[in-house]
């Protein structure tokens, strides 16, 4: 399993800042933020599955545009996997004909460009030997994390989450965990904002990692532009023993 980071920033503002999106092999996306826009049309047309963590714009921005761009190039619907609450929000507020067409009805209800598949936390979705499992997360909207399991090794992506004891219980049960990608959106000076928005800051990350029972590779994602260096320095000062690294666009993990 090849996992390529298309976007991992908490905002935009330059060539290197793309919001959350992860490409698994050539046919699966985890989230669909602005990083997806860097894919070619041919690459976009190869994506058969999108797994969403939640519905905030930085995680779904390119989904409507991707459907509009390559829907007519495909011979089957793009399958969007999401918990029911996420599907409900997308149908009500995005694919509602007011903001964007409802591609689950285009070009016809019998042969649409978009199909939803409901997920539940802990449910295993197997795609050609790859296992993708939604895990608990705690955010301001319904949200999940994901485990990507090749059979040889697993990667966990936290999505957007604040403190979540249930996430760590699920992570600790993964025997082949190799890589943990966890968000830390704000620096410590904005801890109150992190708490209100159910994100993490370095001091909160320290508190969460006390529940982690293994030492996987640790990567930090969703850093806010303008606070990247400060936040990473605070993380290094707090949990240097974990050897944390900042996630980078176009970084590739082989599982």
For CATH 3.60.15.10, the residue range(s) in the chain are 1-82+84-118, 121-247
- What tens digit of pLDDT does each residue of 160-172 get? 999 999 999 999 9
pLDDT band at 15 (very low <50, low <70, confident <90, very high): confident
Mean pLDDT for all residues in the chain: 97
Rounded Cα distance, 216 and 111, in Å: 43
CATH number of 1-82+84-118: 3.60.15.10
What percent of the chain is predicted at pLDDT more than 70?
Answer: 100
**Nearest residue to 138 (alpha-carbon basis) of 94, 50, 204:** 204
Token pair, residue 121, equals 């936390």
Task: Round to whole Å and give the CA distance between 145 and 161.
Answer: 8
- CATH code of domain 121-247: 3.60.15.10
What percent of the chain has pLDDT above 90?
98
Cα atoms in the Cβ-side hemisphere of radius 13 Å centred on 57 = 4
Structure-block tokens of residue 189:
């000076």
Q: Give the angle subtended at the CA of 100 by the CAs of 95 and 105, to the nearest 5°.
A: 55
Span 134-182, pLDDT tens digits = 999 999 999 999 999 999 999 999 999 999 999 999 999 999 999 999 9
Residue 252, pLDDT score: 98
CB 206 within 8 A of CB 173: no
**pLDDT > 90? residue 16:** no
* Average confidence (pLDDT) over 175-193: 97
Question: Is a pLDDT exceeding 90 seen at residue 14?
Answer: no
User: pTM for this one?
Assistant: 0.97
Asked if residue 131 lies in contact with residue 125, where contact means CB atoms within 8 angstroms, the answer is yes
């Amino acid at each position: 399993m090849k996992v390529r980071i298309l976007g991992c920033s908490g905002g935009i503002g330059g060539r290197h800042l793309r919001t959350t999106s992860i490409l698994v092999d050539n046919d699966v996306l985890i989230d669909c933020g602005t990083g997806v826009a860097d894919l070619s049309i041919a690459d976009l047309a190869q994506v058969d599955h999108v797994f969403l963590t939640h519905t905030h714009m930085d995680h779904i921005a390119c989904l409507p545009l991707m459907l509009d761009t390559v829907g007519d190039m495909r011979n089957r619907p793009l399958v969007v996997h999401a918990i029911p609450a996420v599907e409900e929000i997308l149908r009500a507020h995005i694919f509602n004909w007011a903001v964007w067409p409802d591609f689950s009805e285009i070009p016809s209800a019998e042969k649409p460009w978009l199909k939803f598949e409901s997920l539940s936390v802990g449910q295993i979705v197997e795609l050609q030997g790859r296992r993708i499992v939604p895990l608990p997360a705690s955010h301001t909207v319904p949200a999940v994390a994901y485990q990507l399991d090749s059979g040889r090794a697993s990667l966990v992506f936290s999505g957007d989450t604040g403190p979540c004891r249930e996430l760590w219980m699920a992570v600790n049960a993964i025997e082949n965990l190799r890589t943990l990608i966890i968000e830390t959106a704000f620096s410590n000076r904005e801890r109150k904002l992190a708490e209100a928005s159910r994100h993490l800051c370095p001091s909160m990350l320290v508190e969460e990692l006390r529940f982690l029972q293994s030492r996987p590779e640790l990567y930090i994602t969703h850093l806010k532009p303008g606070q990247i260096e400060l936040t990473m320095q605070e993380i290094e000062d707090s949990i240097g023993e974990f050897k944390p690294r900042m996630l980078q666009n176009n970084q590739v993990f082989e599982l």
